[in-house]
Structure 1
């Protein structure tokens, strides 16, 4: 175990005093540590580098940062395979570096959320090294082990998201172990209360260190059915490739028995009880479930005994259209009226949304509409590093790939490296000023350099300045932060809704199509200009003329 060494934080400014509900409607900036800023010149981003750039993040106008994993790891899945839940990987720095990062963030008014990857560990974790030795050791059932069928094959048909069977043979125990992801990521056995206690203890370690919350990776994968029943074939009408790419046979099963199990609810209550001991701390769960996303989200976030919020893949895939968004918003409101969703269009696992959705070529107008819509919807918001620059997915050569997921399913699915390339700070500096190394862990795309921070900072009309203006507008309107949402009837590719909180009501209208259109303002609504930087139309005689990817937000 690593000893806790806490640093004394400076007095928090009065305007940043503890608000236990701060997470509701917060804007969270996701940092992928390997790619944000390399301070020591080894080609890999680190904690000292992140700390040096926190002023930039605070200046955007966000409320918090989310750090993808920085724990000790063999990096088979780049930090999502943890070998020590209380240690910092040397490639990122030290525990003291982490403390200084938290201290600097808090001094700037930024909360710090860290990625907690507890559904599985690395096969190099000391727990697994002990568990695999035999069937009688103290941690023999800390992982999911099963005997083979009489013919030596795995116990059932469960599949790994990363390809192939979810079971791997271990010659020491003469048993299979479960891995929902890489073979090097064995699944922990949450049916064992000692495992739960140990993981909660590791989470408490970071709460004591000053973090403000956890992003819970694959939160619905914690429990499996102890009956080890095979999953049924997915019904054609239920086929959905939002959890895994379409070329992945993982989509062919209805995952009834290997995830989203009812036993998880009691463990989430244990997490929430622990979090409630620390005022102002929060949890956001990642739910990967093609067939039952909204149902699971409702179960995990309703009331005040489980997660504070969760996000699904509704807006991290699918289509950019008013019918899709209208259906998703209505379904979420109906399924979890007392729950809270976290919204995102991009993250470290999916193709950047400009590349995914702006196939029409109108990238500039689309980028502005997308963030205006994202910040107007009901929920908290995650922004992914570089999206505020309008970055597109990087096109990498096969020989530059490092993501095992992409290497496995190439070329139909190119993996996650294209959204994980280094942040670009200066257009004319080596590696975009991300690193002084001769070679960075992933190449810096030349096409990203023209969008570097220094080419957009304080430049009127730039995407970066537009993001800053929209974030400032959202902060100035509590209705957009915590208000209710009511969908309105709208034609074609127009999405319209009313946000309301207290005495303030805002009419929000978005043309999500590439052709101009009109929207008739309901007779009982009399909007007027709200000063929103995203507005591209004004009501004339009860109608809005919306240009392609135009938007309107007006006070009622």
Structure 2
């Protein structure tokens, strides 16, 4: 099956809409979203102006980590439906002009996967070396000091093999051994399975975790940890992760992955890179040359920093490092506190932050990703401990409340008992404040956040400079991010005021003049040789 046709480079500058299947739409009344429910709501995504739909995992899984622990890479978990339901979703998405990008969790599987069941049975079976096994130290301790992101050592003792196995996340998520060519081949065959079903691309979970240091060397501590300048809730953050991830051998596997995708027309890939201060350099390494990943995203703009200086540094560092590569920017996803909550200052207006943020995202050079609910202005939900389902939050409560607050169900109908999400009891509570932001209410309101999102994305499509153009950062005061996007001899100036006061931004050159651009919410005016931008406002104009 071939993908829909928008050209092989449709991904460059595209808008991706992330769906968290369990929380999008329930079609059976069991309180959990499913594939048939997603198919029903595809018109919402198409009407918003997205080019592609990213589906978080729906594969067979014990659901210890909400589907990121896969027990069968080539089947749908019954809680989400069937392969026939998936095929129907792909067909309807393609009919509506939407691409389908699926999550591919290759770095680890579930401990219930048949591969691991066989691997742990003995040291001499056919899959004995398919996972990362190591003998204990003479005193019985783990082979090295590597830590799990979900807390504690990254090693779990197995009494049958009398060895430790590596798990960068939960103990029930053993790491696959990418040093074994058979493992790489088997994983690539699972990718081919979905390509043959018409999938247009893959979001690669924890893409820099695939390969580990074969000598299992200890990670050194971070310098700020040695000096006592670190204050992190998770001990994982105290190490400099030189040996448990981002190994150079990973590049060769990514080339094999890309070669497989290139056998099909118009397919793409986007990698999730979590690599601290090295993230943008890793993006450069993984997306350059046209023979590895098409694009990557990092957590640089998924954190609490909300300032012109921070965004400027991220853009400048990317442009300096990546050269011919490509980035996918996002402000929210299923792993972080929603950005409206992270970035709204005390006493501030979350709606204004939502409008400002989508305009900024739409103007950055790269592809962009929108997480379900942000187009409605959803903030982070406050949940009680007894409502948590995320093992990460349960493990680190109360210092860290986990990821359930950004995973609560969509609200489609303000008057329906469960917001139109389900006829049963939802798997996570639906916050009252989200009900007030229901999609049906906002669809009828031209001044709503949802309407603003749609209008911004429509305006972005009308300006090639914002999709394919180059970017040049301008000098401005500490509260302003200003840059010029250029394509085909046309120039757009984009200026964003992060402060709560009016600011003046100089124009480029004394003879520059500004023309109006039809861009939603673009305020301010030209005054002499400068631009006046209102508080938490922006101005998009054409430079002559």
Aligned partner of 2:412 in structure 1 is 425
Structure 1 residue 50: deviation in Å? 0.2
Aligned partner of 1:247 in structure 2 is 233
Aligned partner of 1:450 in structure 2 is 436
1:325 aligns with 2:311: yes
The partner residue of 1:265 within 236, 248, 251 is 251
**Is residue 60–residue 73 contact of structure 2 (8 Å, CA) maintained in 1?**
yes
Q: In 2 relative to 1, CA 284–197 (structure 1 residues): closer, same or farther, beyond 3 Å?
A: same
1:121 aligns with 2:124: no
Aligned partner of 1:544 in structure 2 is 531
Tell me the secondary structure at the aligned position of residue 118 of structure 1. coil
The partner residue of 1:93 within 53, 66, 81 is 81
- Mapped to 1, the partners of 2:483 and 2:105 lie a distance apart of 36
Structure 1 residue 240: deviation in Å? 13
Structure 1 residue 237: deviation in Å? 8.5
Aligned partner of 1:3 in structure 2 is none
CA deviation vs aligned residue, 1:146-170 (integer Å, no higher than 9, x gap): 0000000000000000000000000
Structure 1 stretches lacking a partner, 5+ long: 1-5
Farther-moved stretch of structure 1 (132-141 vs 522-531) = 522-531
TM-score, normalised to structure 1, is: 0.95
CA deviation vs aligned residue, 1:38-72 (integer Å, no higher than 9, x gap): 00000000000000000111000110000000000
**Is residue 127–residue 142 contact of structure 1 (8 Å, CA) maintained in 2?**
yes
1:517 aligns with 2:503: yes
- Mapped to 2, the partners of 1:502 and 1:259 lie a distance apart of 41
Aligned partner of 2:422 in structure 1 is 435
- Mapped to 2, the partners of 1:201 and 1:451 lie a distance apart of 43
Q: In 2 relative to 1, CA 451–261 (structure 1 residues): closer, same or farther, beyond 3 Å?
A: same
Deviating beyond 4 angstroms after TM superposition, the runs of 4 or more aligned structure 1 residues are 237-242
TM-score, normalised to structure 2, is: 0.97
The partner residue of 2:279 within 274, 284, 293 is 293
Aligned partner of 1:138 in structure 2 is 126
Aligned residues: 541
RMSD of aligned residue pairs (Cα, Å)? 1.6
Structure 2 stretches lacking a partner, 5+ long: none
- Mapped to 2, the partners of 1:162 and 1:237 lie a distance apart of 19
Tell me the secondary structure at the aligned position of residue 251 of structure 1. helix
**Is residue 390–residue 463 contact of structure 1 (8 Å, CA) maintained in 2?**
yes
What pairs up with 1:48-447 in 2 under 5 angstroms? Answer: 48-236=36-224, 246-360=232-346, 361-437=348-424, 439-447=425-433
Tell me the secondary structure at the aligned position of residue 310 of structure 1. strand
Aligned partner of 2:464 in structure 1 is 478
- Mapped to 2, the partners of 1:350 and 1:246 lie a distance apart of 16
Q: In 2 relative to 1, CA 240–144 (structure 1 residues): closer, same or farther, beyond 3 Å?
A: farther
CA deviation vs aligned residue, 1:168-224 (integer Å, no higher than 9, x gap): 000000000000000000000000000000000000000000000000000000000
CA deviation vs aligned residue, 1:421-445 (integer Å, no higher than 9, x gap): 00000111011000000x2111111
CA deviation vs aligned residue, 1:412-471 (integer Å, no higher than 9, x gap): 11000000000000111011000000x211111111000000110031210000000001
Aligned partner of 2:28 in structure 1 is 40
- Mapped to 2, the partners of 1:478 and 1:108 lie a distance apart of 22
- Mapped to 1, the partners of 2:379 and 2:304 lie a distance apart of 17
Q: In 2 relative to 1, CA 98–300 (structure 1 residues): closer, same or farther, beyond 3 Å?
A: same
Structure 1 residue 509: deviation in Å? 0.3
CA deviation vs aligned residue, 1:113-140 (integer Å, no higher than 9, x gap): 0000010000000000000000000000
- Mapped to 1, the partners of 2:229 and 2:211 lie a distance apart of 22
**Is residue 254–residue 291 contact of structure 1 (8 Å, CA) maintained in 2?**
no
- Mapped to 2, the partners of 1:491 and 1:249 lie a distance apart of 37
Tell me the secondary structure at the aligned position of residue 290 of structure 2. coil
Structure 1 residue 536: deviation in Å? 1.3
Farther-moved stretch of structure 1 (524-533 vs 100-109) = 524-533
Structure 1 residue 272: deviation in Å? 0.6
Q: In 2 relative to 1, CA 430–371 (structure 1 residues): closer, same or farther, beyond 3 Å?
A: same
Structure 1 residue 241: deviation in Å? 12
Tell me the secondary structure at the aligned position of residue 180 of structure 1. coil
**Is residue 323–residue 493 contact of structure 1 (8 Å, CA) maintained in 2?**
yes
